[in-house]
Structure 1
Amino acid sequence: MDLIKNFDFAEFDHDKILENVTPILLPERNVTSDQVSCKVPGMEDVRMLFAICQDEKLYLLTKKALMREKVLLEEMTDRVKMMDYDWQIDSLKDYGIGKENSYDSYMLSNLYYSYGAAAIALPQVQAWMYMKFKCNLLIQLWNIHHVVVIPENTLPEDYDPQFFIDEIKRANRETIPEEEWLSDRLYYVDYKKKKNHLRTFV
């Protein structure tokens, strides 16, 4: 899907904006002051932005459009937390990727594999992953389109998290186009904590 940054949203009223909003993740350094965004709890270098999906295009919402239609940021974030987000998670080994690894890894995205990294920031997706994996998760923010999920219980007890950090940094240098970079940090979903499950791996 194409990301459109200049759009006036004249045909969208308050309710239509909330009905059609979808989240995306971008690096914090790429977010401008006129775009509608918020921090993702536990994530240090990315922000969640809000867009309208129409005709296989994403139109980034602006503060001007929200002010005109009197849409509050809190309304947007509440809507995203409860929305039916079309997401999917697939084993990378089914695609012939990482078959040599002793651990399991999964690609998490939306149904279009386009700007789908936001799935990891949604509470409903995190809850589903706990039901599936029953363990804490390592999260590589591979790019703006998808993230890689690694169940911790498939890793050896003495695994080195630096390996996964180096893997992302190497991909950012060698294989991921700069416009698709998201983060070279390693994140962690900790289901033992009741709040702020998602955090930077320390």
Structure 2
Amino acid sequence: MLKPAAEPVLLGFLRHGEVAGPAHVYRGRSDAPLTPRGREQMHAALAVLPPWGAVVSSPARRCLDFASEMAAARGIDCRVDADWQELDFGTWEGLRPDEAAARDAAAHAAFLCDPRRHAPPGGESLDALDARVEAALARLGETARVPTLVVTHAGAMRAVLVQVLGLSVPYRARVALTPGSSFVVSWLAGAPPLLTALRCAD
């Protein structure tokens, strides 16, 4: 059985950069690739982050394409973990909020009022997102032996901040996790995780 690390390990979290396609839409499980600017945003983020000994990625192309290339260039391991995917927006994938409201007025109103319990049609609630990210974060904290970077999404990163800082629903969206944003957590088994750095990309 793997023993907990005796020293803190750094866990980094990097949001993917700009993606191809329309902006300001519900984009969860749809799989648009990064734009050239999106890659530049992620490289700029890496330049100010610590060095990493391993990479974990969401399976979405906007994360995995960059993560796998970055890991190969550095000769480090890159592992895919589906629990680091974005919130599943179900039938609202690719729609602007006003379009989703026009299609499903009552469901959209309920989602905006209480996203913890009310999921998009065919999608996922915030409670479900938080539960899978909590499990993924615990696994990572228990097994990481080198500084590890997670390449993921704004929704999953906010779920981590919920765990680390105890943010409630009204406050979790007040962290501006723009494309290419990042933060770093110091993790020691048996101790509260510590947020050591947060950078919101321009």
Structure with more contact order per residue of length (Cα contacts < 8 Å, sep ≥ 6): 2
Higher strand share: 1
TM norm structure 1: 0.28
Higher helix share: 2
TM norm structure 2: 0.28
